[in-house]
Structure 1
Amino acid sequence: MVQSSIKENYIISGFFVFFLVHATTVGVSTICSQIFVYKTAGHDAWISILFMGVYLHFIVWMMYKMLNNPAKDVIELHQMIFGKILGSAISLLMIGYFFMSALSAVRAYIDVLQVWIFPTVSTWELCLIFLCIIYYIVSGGFRVLTGIAFFAVLASSLLFILTYIPMKYGNLHYLFPIWNHSTSDLLKSTLAASNLYMGFESLFIFFPFIRSTDKHAKWAHFGVLFTSLQYAFISISTLMYFSQGLLEQTLYPILVVTKIIQFPFAERIEFLFILGWFIVSLPSLCLSFWSCTRILKRILNVKPGISLPLILLPFFFALLQFSDRIKIDALSKFVAKLGACFLFGYIPVIFILFFIRSKILRFFQSTR
């Protein structure tokens, strides 16, 4: 059993699953990816976001069914279903998934920084700063990542409160008529909304690090619920502020909305919003790299102190290849499709295979 091999001082309370799940599902995609949801469902986009949130509860339920009793990670799950060699190979492929997810998120955030705040700073300089911070946090271990997730949830809650202010200047009629789009459009928008929730997949890796795994499932569901309600709220705020035609032409609608917010002590609130979102995005990014190092340690017995620099170095050079808007958009669309395949394809399929295997084992045990 994986959990028995983990030292007690690395294991966290089940309560912190709420912060880990919420922090990993709220990231850079909140700023950059909501426009794809709006393009398909228009003013009904908030419905699609709630649909995706409901579906995610089923995904979390599947994950707990597979990983619980006894507590294990996805590496052991793969080996149980496919055998040691094929299972390990599939687990190694997940490194590519986490790598691409982090690559898309970091490049998208750097693009936001360059467009809104630092237009003269080169990509490699911002990337180097990012990777130094990520290396420092990931090197601290899983408990440090949990602490960062805790503060990220507090920061995201404060930032989301700011989106209430534009609602006072919004037009409620922009939300009507409700459910005016076809079921096909809503389903396409729900598929696009899956990119907003990417990041929670690291639960597959850090599951054994949680104490009393049979009791903390509710905290994971609370984390998904909190994320879904926040996304729905911010979508409604944005949809009330923009007409449909203007919204389709706006690249970062949530940042444009925050531009109207002014306080006596600060005017450019969008700058604070963007910089504050760096704290919000850190847990998802750091857990992606930590998951890569954890997989390498479990399969190839490579220590994180060695594997982390070996992952960050090619990451740095790979990020520099996406130098213009066309390449950045292509990367975002590719990762969005990858995440949709993971949510709607991989997890349900692996759950069905796990269910079949469990039934076969019970049948043979009952006939002995």
Structure 2
Amino acid sequence: MTRDGTMMNLTHLLAQTFWLPKPASNLASDVDFGFYLIYWVSVFFFVVVVGAMVLFIIKYRRRSLDQETSTVTHNTPLEILWSGLPLLIVIGIFWVGFKGFLDYDRAPSNVTIIGVEAKKWGFTFSYPNGAKSDQLVVALNEPVRLDMTSVDVLHALYIPAFRTQRNLIPGRLTNIWFQPTKVSSEEGFPAFCTQYCGKDHSAMVTRVHVLDNKTLDPKTGKTAFAAKMEELANPFVKKDGDKRTYVAYKDVGQKIAMQAGCFGCHSVDGKAGTGPTWQGLYKKDHQFSYSNEAGYTLTKGDSDEKWDAYIRESILRPGLKIVSPFANQMSPYESRFTGTPAREEELRAVMEYIRSLGPDYKPSELSDEEMDANKNPHHPQSMAAKAAAEKKD
């Protein structure tokens, strides 16, 4: 058995309490050992000190009014003991914590690097294959380093089962690393923001999914982790064995909006939020408290082209036009939805989802054959498909 395994078993055999969840990473053994060491040292000395106090109160109580108290001034050996012993204990605790800190802060060279971007009120995780998600997906027993930043205010990512936490700071890059040691349940391990970041701080919760990356699924020929990464890399395609089917843009848009944290400020049921509700937003008269274009108006009778241009601009550069009575609080999403054709298609999907919440939305009528990804190289709602059709005509 490894040193970490022995320490973990000994720690949890002697010191299991309700304070910490079950460990699920390589960092947990050092953190738990230090935590429970302090815990049980505190319990031991609490019992000794309070027990001695009770004993002395009873044994050395004043028994008569004329009883004289002894005039002992000090006891040198006792004073050395009660000063030296705590010093040695504190030095030991410092060493345990210092060694754990070094392991905690030094990632191995073979880590997989995942980008993390925090904004009010959610996280976006970016993977080496270009995939993005609002919940973290990692492989079992493979080291991972999270390179993290914030686009608005101070946030923090805390994963209790991994015993790891670090702040995400605007304009700075921070990182943490870990190696998952247990496959997660279907719902995943919980993760939280632990720095107060505004009105919906308590709702800034995500999940960490640890998937096996060794055992091949006989049906797909892929591991659970590889299959999930492929799914995240292309949200426009749904796989069922060998069958590949395109997903409607409005459904993809809903998923991407959730990943991007849009629902932290925008509701879809008409309720007021930090920003305007998306329900009925498309083709609705709007009043603006600020516009970069003098005399700009937007009404339900305006053309689809004008509405699409407004929604696109409001996602990429939201500060250019502010709907009354809301404040200019939204972070720009230009870096998230521009730069590559794939990002542009994701933006078009979000716009389609917003349109679908309007009063007169008519979904595209696409046949099963058109949505068959095995037969068609392009999604029928994509710009590539439209360009191919125009070229054919």
Question: For this structure pair, what is the TM-score category when the shorter chain's length is used for normalisation?
Answer: under 0.3
- Between structure 1 and structure 2, the one with the greater Rg is 2
Q: Structure 1 length normalisation: TM-score?
A: 0.23
Which of structures 1 and 2 has the larger relative contact order (alpha carbons within 8 angstroms, sep 6+)? 1
**More helix per residue:** 1
Q: Structure 2 length normalisation: TM-score?
A: 0.22
